[in-house]
Amino acid sequence: MRRASVVRAVAGIAASVGWAGLALQLLLIINNLGPALGVWRFIGFFTILTNIGAAASATAVALGGSTGLAGPRARLMVATSILMVGLVYSIALRALWNPTGLQKVADTALHDGAPLVWLILWIVAPHPRLGWREIGWALLPPALYIVYAMGRGSMDGWYAYWFLNPTTQSPADLVSSVAVLICGFAIMALALIGLDRRLGRKN
């Protein structure tokens, strides 16, 4: 099988996992909270927003695109964010609840399945040898989300993640949480860029 076909096949799997997990999670949250509040809460999670971006990018790659959502910069942004979704969930959130049934299926797809398939996609996809300065683009999604999350929370008092909740942390703790997150994203992005450059030399 040609490399392009492998890339498109893996991207198709990533897109399928992402869209299916998102659809199931949306149905579950609407069933629990109703349409209006359910959708509002749904788009309040970094996991959800990242998976939307990841599924859209994977769809573009699966359809044979190579620019825009399928381009190397977009794929770096998506890969960094979706891998951090899996990592942060495993470290800071997984132990806080024990989903069962369909919620477990959605949870696994969005926090485990999507990051795993995207890691594979990053490895098999073309490697243009990204520059180290591209790290700035990878840090844009978490930076924008932090502003978004703070703004939402100031309006309705609900925060998706305990480590971004200013009502339960001191200002110093909140700044520390944000700093740790940004550093984590930076390290992940540097690792992905390094892998891209290493694999690019082998092409």
Closest CA to 41 of 142, 145, 153: 153
CA 53 to chain centre: 7
The predicted-structure confidence for 45-60, as pLDDT tens digits, reads as follows: 999 999 999 999 999 9
Predicted confidence band at 93 (pLDDT cuts at 50, 70, 90)? confident
With a cut of 80, say whether residue 159 has pLDDT above it.
yes
Instruction: Supply the DSSP symbol for 94.
Output: G
Predicted confidence band at 128 (pLDDT cuts at 50, 70, 90)? confident
Is residue 194 within 8 A of residue 122, CB to CB? The reply is no
Burial of 96: CB neighbours in 10 Å, binned 0-12, 13-18, 19+: exposed
Q: Which structure tokens are listed for 52?
A: 């939307």
Whether pTM > 0.75 for this model: the answer is yes
The predicted-structure confidence for 98-112, as pLDDT tens digits, reads as follows: 899 999 999 999 999
Is residue 11 within 8 A of residue 54, CB to CB? The reply is no
Q: Which structure tokens are listed for 138?
A: 């990878």
Q: Which residue has the tokens 């939307």?
A: 52
Supply the pLDDT for residue 203.
Answer: 59
Q: Give phi and psi for 171, each to the nearest 5.
A: -55, -40
CA gap 69, 82 in Å, rounded: 15
* Cα angle 190-141-123, degrees, rounded to a multiple of 5: 45
CA gap 201, 57 in Å, rounded: 24
Cα four-point dihedral sign 103, 108, 113, 115: positive
Closest CA to 89 of 119, 110, 117, 118: 110
CA gap 182, 58 in Å, rounded: 24
Closest CA to 88 of 99, 76, 96, 77: 96
